[in-house]
Amino acid sequence: MQRVGVFVCWCGSNIAATVDVERVADVLGREPGVVFATHYQYMCSQAGQELIQNAIHEYDLTGVVICSCSPRMHEVTFRKTCERAGLNPYMVEIANIREQCSWIHKDRESATEKAVILGRAAIAKVHLNAPLTSGSSPVKKRALVIGGGIAGIQTALDIAEAGFEVDIVEKKPTIGGKMTQIDKTFPTLDCAACILTPKMVDAAQNEKIHIYAYSEVTSVKGFVGNFRVTIRRKARYVDETKCTGCGLCTEKCPQKKIPNEFNLGLDNRRAIYIPFAQAVPKVATIDPAACTMLKTGKCGVCSKVCTAGAIDYRQKDTYVEAEYGAIVAATGFNPIKLDKFDEFAYSQSPDVVTSLELERLMNAAGPTGGTLLRPSDGTHPKTIVFVQCVGSRCDDAKGKPYCSKICCMYTAKHAMLCREKYPDTDVYVFYIDVRTPGKNFDEFYRRAVEEYGVHYIKGMVGKVVPENGKLKVQASDLLGGRQLHIDADLVVLAAAIEPDESARPLATMLTASMDTNDFFTEAHAKLRPVESPTAGVFLSGACQGPKDIPETVAQASAAAAKVIGLLSKDSLVCNPCTAKPNELMCNGCSSCEKVCPYGAITYLDKEFRGPNRTVLLRRVAQVNPAVCQGCGACTVACPSGAMDLQGFSNQQILAEVDAICR
Amino acid sequence: MMETIRRISGVNPRKCMKCGKCTASCPAYDEMDYHPHQFVDMVESDRIGELMQSRGIYLCLSCFACVERCPRSVEPAKLIEAVRLAVIRQQGMDHLTPDQIPEKLDPALPQQAITSAFRKYRK
């Protein structure tokens, strides 16, 4: 029988206020096999850890039960404590009496009773624990960044700077992301392209960085340090190695009426196109849905004009398989669709635009050459109304429950730029709250009001009605106590932002968790903000939550630092809680092999001693402990109960259940 | 009283973020003494007596534009309706009986207005 020590933590008042810790220690001290039980204010503190170590020596403990917070918080801490006292770290069990008890209960009596029961279950388990030893697995010294916007580019540049190879996978024909579409950046108003395109070029020219543009990740296998990833390189119908980016084909293509996604459909492109002049890689791409040659086999103009002979109508998707030690998700965001907000007449008038569309209308490389003109008739708008929080801060059924964070600042920027370029315009901003926390942000917003004379009105627009070339805006002015009727020329909607639609399937491939809004969840909201709970997966940029460019770049570099920390290790300590087959019970059915997500299980024909000195050849399962991640899928799938998870055996789990039901 | 209004209407006025979209949408704005966002605020701060005295509760067209557009699904028109109901219940009398309808009929009057009138003036 084990000699068990029980240590009940108060966690200050977190546990002690709801649970009678003294009584828990007292009752658990009388459990079979328990030779020592005590309680202490902060078990994770230096003094608390010494208390545990002293008790291990003094009472010759072989097993330790800590009644404290979640094992996700301090299991590692307490395992190290016990290891330093000479105990095998896997002889420690945690009873979570904080998250699963004190924090969720109000009644002291029943909470105390529950804490005792949870402690009893842990004691029952520790009696069946066996010492385990960790192995190690090598680390593939290469990183994958999924998404080539400013987040992905910054992460890749920083990882490459540390000397590691890094691949960027970008689904669009060029890297650069949303920032390429933006005109100016707040709060300094420098041109987005001027600060982004040099970084795009740096990424392309860096010998440690390889860019897979117009490509997508189709499968991810493996685990931290050893991911195996398949990348689909979509057919561009243009040979990337031959195309010089001269753009002749994009001028001669007879298919002229294809909505240009780079300018958000505000103008047209050809069926063969280069998204914008500074695209990286600067290579043409044929849109297979629009190309006459690909659809009917008749045309071939681009191929005739291409002097480099780069056009290849028979190009097929190709697949690349590569191995990585770490993966960074940087899939970014999109503005939401506005079909649920038709009171703003977005679908009824071309002069109702989203803020991102306004960026294109004000950009020198945009459809109007940087002159702000109404999309409907090409005239200068004289009265411009900005509507904030369109789809943000909504009820779940109507929009997004969160604040999109960036809209207050970019709207202030837009309003300011409109007034600066065209002092004869009247600019109204309808706001619910103006949220401008950030360095030099509130000063920027105040400048829009005080120096540029933008009319900020606390209230909301109720409806927009297109009438005789004008947009009749009906709105409330809550502080002025009036209802306003404005004849506007242009209405700009600050649409909420949402994660890119590729994020959810990617999260499934990575087994990374997401919140209900499809933003990636971080391992700890405060202390591990750039790591996913899935080891080896890191988060960069708006895929983790709405954020502006300065914040995105900061997080991108933080994610790179975490990746560098991982890749600079030669090997990783493996989790010893791996599956182990009982060969005598295995019937060789392959069920476990089929469910194993890591490919850790193989089968071996092995000789066993039969009755009367005969030899039996049987097919039995073998687990590679360096690959097994201890998920337990095989233990559930095995029909004969031959597969068990070390540290979480069926016997141990049932002992816990028995203790709870006692 | 606040609890009664909340119970009748099923509306939680605390969900209101005071954006004013209801008031921006209201077609009867110019006629009303209190406006939709104020109704919500007055229920929340338990000033229901003033609301019950208000003429505005009868000027609400029950067009439900505020209900439709409220980003947080607060549903101000339902609160207004609940206050009207509270007035009727308190007085123990209705403002409209079915036999009064024929003399009020007008070919231009939409059916919906009659339904709405019953909702507004009769328990």
Beta strands in A135-208 (DSSP E): 136-138, 142-146, 165-169, 184-185, 190-191
User: Which residue segment(s) compose the domain that B86 sits in?
Assistant: 2-121
Please tell me whether residue B108 adopts helix, strand or coil conformation. coil
State whether residue A475 sits within 8 Å of chain B by CB: yes
What does the block give as tokens for A404? 């999109």
Query: ipTM value of the model?
Result: 0.81
Q: Residue A314: which residues within 8 A CB-CB, separation 6 or more?
A: none
**Mean pLDDT score of chain A:** 95
Distance of CA A432 to the CA centre of its chain: 29
Maximum distance among all Cα pairs of chain A, rounded to whole angstroms: 104
Measured over all CA atoms, what is the biggest interatomic distance in chain B, rounded to whole angstroms?
Answer: 44
Contacts of B52 (CB under 8 A, 6+ apart): B83, B86, B87, B90
pLDDT digits (tens, 9 = 90+) for A327-355: 999 999 999 999 999 999 999 999 999 99
Over pLDDT 70: what percentage of chain A? 100
- Does position A174 have pLDDT exceeding 80, yes or no? yes
Which of A393, A394, A483 shows the shortest C-beta gap to B24?
A483
CA dist., res. A516 & res. A509, Å (int): 17
- The Cα A124–Cα A477 span in angstroms is 66
Q: Which residues make Cβ contacts (< 8 Å) with residue A276, sequence separation at least 6?
A: A174, A180, A262, A365
CA nearest neighbour of A421 among A367, A473, A377, A361: A361
Contact status of A462 with chain B (Cβ, < 8 Å): yes
pLDDT greater than 80 at residue A95: yes
- Interface A–B counts its CB contacts (< 8 A) at 65
Contact list in B for residue A387 (CB cut-off 8 A) is none
B23–A483 C-beta distance less than 8 A? yes
Cβ(B33)–Cβ(B50) under 8 Å? no
Mean pLDDT of A227-252: 96
The CA distance from B82 to the nearest CA of chain A, in Å, is 22
Give the pLDDT score at B4: 87
Q: Give contacts of B72 with chain A, Cβ < 8 Å.
A: 393-395
Q: What are A100-140's pLDDT values in tens digits? A: 999 999 999 999 999 999 999 999 999 999 999 988 889 99
Q: How far is B32 from chain A (nearest CA, A)?
A: 11
Residue in A140, A179, A211, A116 with CA at minimum distance from that of residue A553: A179
Nearest-by-CA chain A residue for B26: A462
Q: In the beta sheet, which residues pair with residue A436?
A: none
Q: Which residues of B fall within a CB distance of 8 Å from A475? A: 24
Which of B17, B21, B67 is the mutation pick for testing A, counting most A CBs within 10 A? B21
Let me know: does A286 contact A267? Beta carbons within 8 Å.
no
Distance from CA of A484 to the nearest CA of B (A): 8
Answer whether residue B111 shows pLDDT above 90.
no
Q: What is the CATH number of the domain that holds B14?
A: 1.10.1060
A533 touches chain B (CB under 8 A): no
pLDDT digits (tens, 9 = 90+) for A574-595: 889 999 999 999 999 999 999 9
Could you give phi then psi for residue A427, rounded to 5 degrees?
A: -120, 125
| pLDDT for the residue numbered A137 | 87
Query: Residues B81, B43: contact at Cβ < 8 Å?
Result: no
Of A97, A96, A94, nearest to A52 by C-alpha is A94
CB-based burial label for B93 (10 Å; 0-12, 13-18, 19+): exposed
Rounded average pLDDT over A435-448: 96
Q: How confident is the model at residue B55 (pLDDT cuts 50, 70, 90)?
A: confident
User: A76: Cβ–Cβ under 8 A, 6 or more apart, which residues?
Assistant: none
Q: Give me the pLDDT at residue B88, please.
A: 78
Cβ(B21)–Cβ(B73) below 8 Å:
no
Which of A389, A398, A483 faces B73 most closely, judged by CB atoms?
Answer: A398
pLDDT band at A179 (very low <50, low <70, confident <90, very high): very high
Global confidence as pTM:
0.86
Q: Does A281 sit behind a cis peptide bond, omega within 30 degrees of 0 on the bond before it?
A: yes
Task: Answer for the pair A501, A332: CB distance below 8 angstroms, yes or no.
Answer: no
Q: What is the pLDDT of residue B123?
A: 60
Please tell me the predicted confidence (pLDDT) of residue A66: 97
pLDDT of B92 higher than 70: no
Residues A419 and A415: their CA atoms lie apart, in Å, by 6
pLDDT, tens only, A594-653: 998 778 899 999 999 988 999 999 999 999 887 888 889 999 999 999 999 999 999 999
Please confirm whether the linkage preceding A131 is cis (ω < 30° from 0): no
The residue whose two tokens read 């505020």 is B66
Of A26-40, A61-75, A339-353, B51-65, give the lowest mean pLDDT range. Answer: B51-65
Contact B24 A463 (CB under 8 A): yes
Q: Mutation test of the interface with chain B: which of A457, A476, A493, choosing the one with the most B Cβ atoms within 10 A?
A: A476
Are B21 and A461 inside 8 Å of each other by CB?
yes
Task: State the Cα–Cα distance between residues A359 and A356, nearest whole angstrom.
Answer: 5
Which of A340, A478, A484, A491 to probe by mutation at the B interface, max B CB count within 10 Å? Answer: A478
Domains for chain A: give ranges and CATH numbers: 4-126 (3.40.50), 142-234+317-332+500-567 (3.50.50.60), 248-305 (no CATH), 335-498 (3.50.50.60), 579-646 (3.30.70.3270)
Residues from chain B that touch A483, judged by Cβ atoms under 8 A, are 23-24, 26, 29-30, 35
- The full DSSP string for A11-76 is TTHHHHTTS-HHHHHHHHTTSTTEEEEEEES-TTSHHHHHHHHHHHHHHT-SEEEEEES-HHHHHH
Q: Which residues fall within 8 angstroms of residue A86, CB to CB, at 6 or more apart? A: A56
How many domains does the structure of chain B reveal? 1
Chain B touched by A513 (CB under 8 Å) = no
pLDDT of residue A269: 96
Q: Using 50, 70 and 90 to split pLDDT, how confident is the model at B105?
A: confident
Note whether B21 contacts A463, CB cutoff 8 Å: no
Question: What's the pLDDT score for residue B118?
Answer: 78
> Rounded to 5 degrees, what angle do the CA atoms A490, A495, A497 make?
155
